[in-house]
Structure formats: C-alpha cells, structure tokens
Amino acid sequence: MNKNFFMQLALNKAWEYQTLTYPNPAVGAVVVKNGSILSVSAHRRAGESHAEVVALAEAYEKLSGKEFGVDKYDAKDAHNFLLSLPKDFFSECEIFVTLEPCSHHGKTPSCASLISALKLKKIYIGAKDPIESHSGGIKILQNTNIEVETEIMQEECQALIEPFVIWQKRAFILFKLGQTSNGVIGGGYITSKESLKYVHKIRSVVSAMLIGGNTVRVDRPTLDCRFIDEKAPNIYIYSKRDDFDKDIPLFGVSNRSVEIISDISPLLDKPSLILVEGGEGMLKALKNNIDWLLLFQAPKLSDSQLSYNITTELEFLHCQKSGIDLMIWSRFGK
Amino acid sequence: MNKNFFMQLALNKAWEYQTLTYPNPAVGAVVVKNGSILSVSAHRRAGESHAEVVALAEAYEKLSGKEFGVDKYDAKDAHNFLLSLPKDFFSECEIFVTLEPCSHHGKTPSCASLISALKLKKIYIGAKDPIESHSGGIKILQNTNIEVETEIMQEECQALIEPFVIWQKRAFILFKLGQTSNGVIGGGYITSKESLKYVHKIRSVVSAMLIGGNTVRVDRPTLDCRFIDEKAPNIYIYSKRDDFDKDIPLFGVSNRSVEIISDISPLLDKPSLILVEGGEGMLKALKNNIDWLLLFQAPKLSDSQLSYNITTELEFLHCQKSGIDLMIWSRFGK
C-alpha cells in the first residue's frame, strides 16, 4: 500500500484521542517493516509517552514476541528501554507520524533524537510542528542521516492539530451536541454510555466548561466526570441573571469553581480549551465563536419536537463509531 | 496486524459498492504476502469479475510491477490470465474474502477453483455462502489442500450481505434520505454532486423505485440516472389518486415504466431491490417494511422547519464519506 494508506491509519488512531491530549496535540504513529504493519499507536494524554514512543514500544512487542519490559506509557522508562536495545533492532523499520517529532529535551530526550539514535530507515511526516520554538525535529533527523519525507496527507494532518494550534493562541471552543439521527436533542439521555464516557473524558481535561443559564435551570445538570471517576471541570454559566437555585447538582460538586458570567469575551482570548454543552440557544449565542462541533449521533429517529434550528455550514473532519453511536467532528461555520 | 484488521479493509472496500452489485452480493477481498498488503479490492457490479479475481489481478500488478495484461474486470480474460502465470506465483500469498468464494462453474470456472489452482497459502473467509446451491467453495478449497479459516468478523460480513440474502427471497426495501446534519430534508438539493451520483448509480441497478404521490405532485421529479448516463429505473407511485399532471418530468423519461399503485403488498413478496425516496409520509407509510435506511448527511445545519418526525430505532452498519457528505447505512426499526 502507499504512504497515504499508512498515514491514514496513524490519523484514524490519533482521532480516537482528539482533545483528550490537551494541552498536547493529538498525534498518531505507525511503524512498518518491509511493508508489514507492526503497530498503529497514538499519544493518549499529556504526561504520557508521545505517539512515536508508544508505536516503537508496540513494534518491539510484535518483532520480539515479548511484552515491553517497562510501562510503555511512561516516557522516561520507555525511552530508556528502547535505547537499550541492540543498535540495529529497528534499522529495517519505517515510521509514519502525523506530526513532526518533538525536538524538545525535557524529562526525556526528544522523540527526534530517539528516532535518530534508533537509526530507523525512514520517517514519513504529515504536518510540520506549528510552534517555532518546538520545531527542529526534522533537522535533528536529517543531521543524523535518517531519511525524511514530509507533507504526507498534510491537509488532514494539519486538521488533526487545528485545536492545538488554536488553543496555544486563544480559547478553542468545542461545542458538543448529542442528537438522534433526525436532529432531536432533548428529552433525556440520547446517546450511549460509551459516548457519555467520552464526553466525561473531555470534561476531565478541559480548561473549563461553558453552559447556558437556561440549560442549568431546566436540566439541573451535575456536569462532573463520574463515569470515569476524574476531577470535575470548572464551570462558567453564561447568564444575565444570577439567581440560580443552589440545590442544582452542579453547585454541589467539590473541588471545582462555578462562575456566572454575562459576557464571554474575556474567556475567548485566553489560551485554553473550552467545552460547551447546550442547545439551540447556546449555538446561536456562540455562533461566531464556535471552532468545532462534536456531534454524537444516536441510532434512532424521534418524533419529539425537541429539535434545533440554526443555519450554518460545517466541514466534516472525521467520523468514528462510539459504541452504537457515531461521533462526527466538524469545523463550524466554515 | 491481525486477521480482523485485514478483513476490515476488505469490508470497507466492499461497502463502497453496497447495493451497486445487485443482484450479486457486495464482496471485498484483500491479498497479503508476508504481512504486507498487496491489494484491497471489491466486486463492483454484476457481470464483472468477482472480488477475489480483482484482488489477485491487483496483487499481480503490485508483485510484478507490470500492468495486468488484460481487463481485470472481465472475468473470463482475468481468470485465463491468472491461470497462465507460473504455478508458484501466488504461493506465498494469503487472501481475505468477506464471503465464501463461489463454487459455481458458469462462463468462467469458480473462484474457489481459481484459488485452488493458484495454490494460495491460505484463505480467510468472513461469511459462508448463504445460498445452499451456491456454497461448496470451502469444500473445493479444502479438497485441494488450501488452508481455510472461516468466521473472521462473521457478524460484520453477514451484515454486508444482508441485502443479498433478503432480495433472494423477497423485496429488499432501501429507503434513501438526504438531510442536513440537524435533520432538515426539504428545500432543494441538500447533498453534494457525489452523493447524487451515488444515488443515480443505485437507481440504475434497482428492480424499481417506489415514490409517494405527494412527492411527485410537489417536487415534480425526473427520477432518472442522468448524472451517470444510465437507463432510468421503473417507477411505482404509491398513491390512492391517479390524477397526476402528465407533464411532471418523470412521466416523460423514455424506456421505463411508471405505474400508480394504491397497495404495495404485491411488490413486497417479489425477490427484488426496491429503492424508496421520500419524506416523512413515506417513512410512516412504510415503517414496517423498510429494511435499511441510507442517510446522506450534508455538512450544514439549517433553520428551515422542513424536518421529519417518526420514532424508530436504527442500527448503524457503516459510515463512509461521499464527497463532502457522510453516507450512513443502517438497519431500520431494529
């Protein structure tokens, strides 16, 4: 198969962790030896090994038939283990990475220097690192005579890191909506447990959630991360009035702040990831500020009138299964 | 990668031709050598080479670096060419097929005997042939010492051929709907040219189209296959009244029949593929008869009130891109 085929596998895997890697970018990596796929891996969350490291660890497992000696998600241990392997262990391997490997030497050496040290045969890169001070990975690789080919599925690889590029500069506004296949959004839980879990995973990493005052009054939500047992996000309630019934469950969640705001503009400039959950009112109120829409679409049609009406263009970026539902990521208003 | 990974590639490719193969089943095939993928192929339409033949032809191209000597979609020529290759040409290859290879000897020898003659190393099969008189492919393969492994992703492979299984026995009712992402279905063309083309391809192979009288009166459609320049389908108009304005374009299309019926039950028993295009009225009228829903979902939201309301469960079977749209196949009412 051709280069795009392998890069598409890396992309698909990375999308499984879209936004969950905050503040890091979503990145996927595939290791191939003589045309045979050894691993399809991704960076799962900030603080864990980068995609390249996980992919090399899983390629090791495939090639050696043994389990990886240490926790492959522990960056330091994984780097050290990989560097302890015989020098030519990966010399017939190629790696496809959606993003230029990092050049930053922190708790561990950079991924670029790891790949150089392991002397892989070739690296295929999708998007270059958009942050000037982080880039340089390609140069490190080239200086150590690793063959580098860039711009493989560049547009798709750039779309994958668009949230990352935006949240470096200002708030990335992700609007999440759960609906039936004919656009009904109200009347209790619509989507499956798997989808609710994914939403709780996003909630657990965001800078804050933004929610409409009306939703708070009507739905009386909790807005925590109970399905995955993680810390609840801080909440901004977008409302002109501040006379909320303090028995509404979201006010009773410990270790998080709840702030009522009548103006969102101060939020928008701050580099951050803001998750919005709401309905037609919030869609309309934030129409010019929403970056992406994340639609959880349930396998049902409903004759309830609880639909939403707003006119805007979307651009589908990725569609994946989430339990029995579909999860559709799209640019909003483009 | 494991067996399911390769079978999933075969499945995805086959879905690209779902229902377009009528009256044949949709089938996909993948050829692998030492873990490296040589081809990902599918049966495209009745009268052309089966998936296995296309996959082997494309594997030949990859291995030899030459173009296939004859038209790979011409079953007879392709069989003969493949059989003329050196005896061990494919002996290190494995093939993944979503459906048991045919045992039927017609204009060409069966696919099972072709694979036997080519002495492939192993064949992985998804679903067994559901038609008693066609099966026997596995036995042919085993009798010639080809290693056979069955039931790989069996459930998914059976879902792929569900239309085929049904249209052997009775009418398979496929309801096509084009909508915005919030379920608006009216007000002119909603989906992209690519999606309209796919619909015209389905129209060109179906036994007949079924359309509601109201749609005929209001939309005044043509219901032909002009985007692909193929023969227009026969039409049943489901209506109690038969006083249609004969200037409505669909009546003026040559080489096809148009029949007005007030009862659909005679249609249902006949082994056939019926494509229904309509809105809420037809969805409700056919609620108990629709087998699958094919949703073309456009990347936009609309505040038009032209939505549809009906309560039913769906089961998502496959989602793919169709130009800028999504194409979502699902079981209806399950």
Q: Which of B301, B312, B325, B329 to mutate to test the interface with A (most CBs of A within 10 A)?
A: B301
Among A240-244, B153-157, B197-201, name the one with the lowest average pLDDT.
A240-244
Q: Is the pLDDT of residue B133 over 80?
A: no
Angle at A65 between CA A60 and CA A69, to 5 degrees: 55
Lowest-pLDDT choice from A303-317, B37-51, B125-139:
B125-139
The Cα A177–Cα A222 span in angstroms is 17
Torsion (CA) B56, B60, B66, B70 in degrees, nearest 10: -40
pLDDT tens digit sequence for A138-152: 999 999 989 999 999
Is B94 within 8 Å of B123 (Cβ atoms)? yes
Q: Is 70 exceeded by the pLDDT of residue A1?
A: no
B123 pLDDT more than 90: yes
Q: Which of A197-206, A288-297, B186-195 has the lowest average pLDDT?
A: B186-195
pTM, full prediction: 0.95
Inter-chain CB proximity B309 and A316 less than 8 Å: no
Q: How far is A125 from chain B (nearest CA, A)?
A: 21
Mean pLDDT, rounded, of chain A:
95
pLDDT at A132 > cutoff 80: no
Q: In the predicted model, what is the mean pLDDT of residues A173-183? A: 97
- Strand A325-332 and strand B28-33: the pairing is unpaired
Pick from A20, A18, A42, A325: which is nearest to A196 by CA?
A: A325
| pLDDT value at residue B106 | 78
The confidence score (pLDDT) of residue B1 equals 64
* Mean pLDDT, residues B321-332 taken together: 97
Residues of chain B contacting A183 with CB distance shorter than 8 Å: 179-184, 307
For the residues of B155-204, what is the DSSP string, one character each? Answer: HHHHHHTHHHHHHHHSEEEEEEEEEETT-B--SS--S-HHHHHHHHHHHH
- The closest CB to that of B324, out of A309, A310, A316, belongs to A316
Q: Are A297 and A270 in contact (CB under 8 A)?
A: no
**Confidence check: pLDDT of A135 > 90:** no
Question: If you average pLDDT over residues A251-263, what whole number do you get?
Answer: 96
Contact A138, A150 (CB under 8 A): yes
Q: Which residues pair with B171 in a beta bridge?
A: B272
* pLDDT band, residue A334 (cuts 50/70/90): low
* B57: nearest Cα among B33, B76, B73, B43: B73
pLDDT digits (tens, 9 = 90+) for B51-90: 999 999 999 999 999 999 899 999 999 999 999 999 999 9
Across the interface, of A40, A179, A299, the residue whose CB is closest to B330 is A299
Is the per-residue pLDDT at B309 higher than 90?
yes
ipTM comes to: 0.94
What pLDDT sits at residue A291? 98
Cβ neighbours of residue B287 under 8 Å, at least 6 residues apart?
A: B310, B312, B333
Task: Return the structure tokens found at B311.
Answer: 């309560």
Q: Inter-chain contact A311–B305, Cβ cutoff 8 Å?
A: no
Per-residue pLDDT reduced to its tens digit, A42-84: 999 999 999 999 999 999 999 999 999 899 999 999 999 999 9
**pLDDT reported for residue B75:** 95
Asked if A181 lies within 8 A of B303 by C-beta distance, the reply is: no
Query: Where does the pLDDT of residue A331 fall: very low under 50, low under 70, confident under 90, or very high at 90 and above?
Result: very high
Tell me if B36 and A40 make a contact (CB, 8 A cut-off).
Answer: no
* Interface residues of chain B, partner chain A, Cβ below 8 Å: 1, 5, 34-37, 40, 179-184, 283, 295, 299-305, 307-316, 319, 321, 324-326, 328, 330
Q: Summarize pLDDT for A210-224 with one digit per residue, the tens.
A: 999 999 999 999 999
